């Protein structure tokens, strides 16, 4: 990437500059000031508490059913895990939140389909929350502010009403690129039915129809258990990767490099690197290492379905490591 080219420069904290109206909105803004006076009350949404409890109980039951499932059903569950994970990592995250590469219409349609399989709110809502997370990281305007503890950053934020600052700051974000993307808006309009079909019915009916798996097992393993595992792998980026691990690129921010999260979230645990260089399509300086999502985007480029991957130069990474890293940087 040519970090200093282009007209719409955005000054990144500590001096880097990058371009493009979308990526401007993932730049950390250190001007946030918490309002004075008492904190707004935390309002629990009991419906979500109940649904998330039932989902996790269903997933535990799915684990218990594993020995009674066909091998093909387990392979299918793994396939659905990877597809839905890519819908989040390559789709909602690296393409739509950060605009770190460009995708053709067929690829965007596939990623929106995969994203509905992950059922993590529609792409528009996900990307809006994610931009506000980067811009106001670790403040009350961050939807999953890790300063409020592991549980809040992991799942708690989905069980309570949002802090008013999330909505206030989120409303000021530039989201015109998302509004202009017909695939994003189509998925938003048809979100509920797409989730019902792609996240639950397809994963359940394929094993039943194609190789005679029982509907019961097919519901609890490829549908519920797989969905719950993708959710928790994603949430670990917000919780564990904001708490545990090294900070080779910027010791002044909370996000960390966390190998376990990198593995479970198919390449999204290099989180100190990612918050330092949010516009890098690989979210890491190590290419394909532990990074299935980067392999996928590279494959899509090879097939002509994606292009214009943004990458931070090695010199810039090393300069940043010298300037703000915690001294733990390794080159491989
Ligand atoms: C889920 C999302 O799990 C997970 C996201 C994780 C992100 C991870 C990032 C990490 C990096 C990437 C790594 C990927 C790794 C993947 C690995 C895969 C293996 N700005 O929301 P409402 C406004 S979802 C501006 O109801 P409440 C807006 O006007 C799981 N405005 O707020 C909105 O209206 P509209 C399944 C905003 O009432 C209105 O407020 N889904 C913003 O406080 C009301 O919004 C669930 O569980 C903003 N940021 O309720 C559902 N936000 O409709 C959970 C809001 O026009 N959600 N507004 O947009 C809810 O039930 C509710 O949102 C709530 C808050 C109860 C949490
Ligand atoms: Zn983060
Ligand atoms: Zn991000």
Kindly state if the Cβ of 192 falls inside 6 Å of ligand 1: no
Test site for ligand 1: of 88, 167, 169, 224, most ligand atoms within 8 A of the Cβ: 167
For residue 88 and ligand 1, the question of a CB distance below 6 A is answered with yes
pLDDT of 163: 97
At residue 15 the predicted structure's pLDDT band, cuts being 50, 70 and 90, is very low
pLDDT tens string 90-138: 999 999 999 999 999 999 999 999 999 999 999 999 999 999 999 999 9
In this structure, how many other beta carbons lie within 10 angstroms of the beta carbon of residue 174? 11
Confidence (pLDDT) at 34? 82
DSSP conformation class of 271:
H
Gap between the Cα atoms of 39 and 226, Å rounded: 37
Which band of pLDDT confidence, cut at 50, 70 and 90, is reported for residue 20?
Answer: low
Listed residue (277, 238, 280) closest to 255, CA to CA: 238
Contact 113, 7 (CB under 8 A): no
pLDDT tens-digit series, residues 301-317: 999 999 999 999 999 99
Instruction: State if residue 238 touches ligand 1 by the CB under 6 angstroms criterion.
Output: yes
Please tell me the distance between residue 322's alpha carbon and the centre of ligand 3 in angstroms: 23
State residue 4's pLDDT score.
Answer: 32
Domain ranges of the chain: 41-324
Q: Which atom of ligand 1 is nearest to the CA of 45?
A: 66
Report the chain's mean pLDDT, rounded to a whole number.
Answer: 93
Hey, CA dihedral for 129, 131, 137, 141, is it positive or negative? Answer: negative
Q: How far apart are CA 27 and CA 24, in angstroms?
A: 6
**Residues 192, 98: Cα–Cα separation, whole Å:** 25
pLDDT for 197-235, tens place per residue?
A: 999 999 999 999 999 999 999 999 999 999 999 999 999
Distance 252 CA to ligand 1 centre (A): 27
Q: Which residue, by CA, sits nearest to atom 18 of ligand 1?
A: 85
Cα-to-centroid distance, 157 and ligand 1 (Å): 9
Q: What percent of the chain has pLDDT over 90?
A: 87
199 CB-near residues (< 8 Å, 6+ apart): 84, 116, 117, 118, 119, 223, 227
Give 161 Cα–ligand 1 centroid separation in angstroms: 10
Each residue of 152-161: pLDDT tens digit? 999 999 999 9
pLDDT digits (tens, 9 = 90+) for 146-197: 999 999 999 999 999 999 999 999 999 999 999 999 999 999 999 999 999 9
| ipTM score | 0.98
Q: Which atom of ligand 1 is nearest to the CA of 118?
A: 18
SS3 193: helix
Mean pLDDT in residue range 241-256? 98
Q: Above 50 in pLDDT, residue 3? A: no
Q: Is the CB of 26 under 6 A from ligand 1?
A: no
Nearest CA owner, ligand 1 atom 52: 167
């Amino acid at each position: 990437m040519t970090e200093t080219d282009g007209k719409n420069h955005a000054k990144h904290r500590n001096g880097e500059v990058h371009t493009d109206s979308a990526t401007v909105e993932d730049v950390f803004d250190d001007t946030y000031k918490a309002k004075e006076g008492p904190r707004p009350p935390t309002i629990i949404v009991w419906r979500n508490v109940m649904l998330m409890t039932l989902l996790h109980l269903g997933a535990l039951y799915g684990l218990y059913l594993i020995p009674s499932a066909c091998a093909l059903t387990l392979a299918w569950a793994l396939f659905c895990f990877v597809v839905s994970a890519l819908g989040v990592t390559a789709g909602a995250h690296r393409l739509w939140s950060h605009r770190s590469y460009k995708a053709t219409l067929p690829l965007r349609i596939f990623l929106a389909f995969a994203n509905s399989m992950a059922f993590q709110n529609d792409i528009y809502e996900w990307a809006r929350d994610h931009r506000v997370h980067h811009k106001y990281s670790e403040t009350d305007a961050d939807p999953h502010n890790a300063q409020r503890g592991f549980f809040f950053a992991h799942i708690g934020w989905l069980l309570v009403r949002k802090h008013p600052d999330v909505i206030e700051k989120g409303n000021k974000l530039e989201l015109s690129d998302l509004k202009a993307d017909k695939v994003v808006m189509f998925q938003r309009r048809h979100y509920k039915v797409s989730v019902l079909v792609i996240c639950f019915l397809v994963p359940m009916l394929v094993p039943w129809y194609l190789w005679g798996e029982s509907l019961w097992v097919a519901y609890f393993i490829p549908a519920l258990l797989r969905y719950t595992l993708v959710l928790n792998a994603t949430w670990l980026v917000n919780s564990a990767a904001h708490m545990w691990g090294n900070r080779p690129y910027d010791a002044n921010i909370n996000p960390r490099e966390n190998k376990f999260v990198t593995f479970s979230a198919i390449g999204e645990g290099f989180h100190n690197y990612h918050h330092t260089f949010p516009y890098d399509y690989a979210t890491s300086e190590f290419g394909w290492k532990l990074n299935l999502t980067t392999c996928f985007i590279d494959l899509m480029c090879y097939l002509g379905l994606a292009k214009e991957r943004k990458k931070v130069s090695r010199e810039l990474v090393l300069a940043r490591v010298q300037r703000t890293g915690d001294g733990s940087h390794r080159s491989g």
